[in-house]
Amino acid sequence: PLVITAPTHGRPVEPHGLRFRVAYALLAVVLGAAVGAFIVLMGRGSSSSGVAWSSWKPEGSDFVKTRDIASVVGGQYRLASGQQLVAVIPRIPPAVEPSTQETPISHIALAQSQAPEDIEVFSTDNSVEYVLCGIGSASGRCAIGEGKATVQRARLLHRESLELALYTFKYVDGVDSVVALQPPKVGSNPTYALFFRKDDFEEELDHPLKQTLEGASPFTTGDFPVAQQARVSQIVSPFLFRFSYQQAADLSAVLVLTPLAA
């Protein structure tokens, strides 16, 4: 049978307590779920001012759009050598590969604290996952082989993750959340994820992208002004979490997110 284990890095989560709290939260979602009407975003591709939201927009099916978003956005971020910063792997719906078998992620459990009432559970039916996977490291695990893991590089990865999410929210119909798994340090397992919800970015989606994310590609750590780093940090910090996996009763996976301070 498939066993999904949580990463060993970071403060350990109580194995049984959190598992039961997540299970109860999942049950509450199933019992209390209501069917809501989805309102299509009017004026897709433009902002409230009538100016184009972006200079490029994806076309085609939802899968093709996410694939092209991953390719176009990912290609704009570079290492000092000129090589691409990370490979960006899109998944609809999100999934985990603990061994040789891909397992779907059915729910995302956001545990703001150890208290049961502070656990929010979200279905992944309308979610997109982007795996930011570095290459060139002998240890693998999606670590970036070139250069050192620095605060600047982490913020550049966060900028890329935010751009992926904003393009997805703007142009892929029905998506209400985006998960972006971050590459780990060399020798470590992936530990951090950004979890964005569309409702939190109404202002950014109503104004041209360049007003939120300044600068021109290619984007590198050597050409990433401090002011832009601070802006990115201000936006994404509330959405940065440690992540682990738990197995649900139906053998699907649950992505468990915990705050960095937890």
On average, the pLDDT of the chain sits at 85
Phi and psi torsions of 55, nearest 5°: -80, -15
* H-run or E-run covering 256: strand 253-259
Q: Output the pLDDT for position 137.
A: 81
d(CA 44, CA 181): 27
- Whether 6 shows a pLDDT value over 70: the answer reads no
Give the pLDDT mean for 227-234.
96
- The backbone region for 82, taken as left when phi is positive above 0, alpha when psi lies in -120 to 50, beta otherwise, is left
For the chain, percent of residues with pLDDT exceeding 70: 78
d(CA 179, CA 192): 10
Note the pTM of the prediction, 2 decimals: 0.82
Q: Output the pLDDT for position 37.
A: 37
User: For residue 117, what pLDDT band results from cuts at 50, 70 and 90?
Assistant: confident
- Residue range of the domain that includes 225: 62-259
Q: Which amino acid, one-letter code, is at 36?
A: G
d(CA 113, CA 11): 13
**Packing angle of the helix pair 151-171, 62-74 (nearest 10 deg):** 150
In a domain, 3, yes or no: no
In a domain, 6, yes or no: no
Q: Output the pLDDT for position 90.
A: 97
Q: pLDDT higher for 21 or 7?
A: 21
* Three-state SS at 24: helix
In a domain, 55, yes or no: no
In a domain, 46, yes or no: no
Count of the separate structural domains present in the chain: 1
In a domain, 239, yes or no: yes
d(CA 220, CA 147): 12
The predicted-structure confidence for 97-109, as pLDDT tens digits, reads as follows 665 578 899 999 9
Q: pLDDT higher for 136 or 43?
A: 136
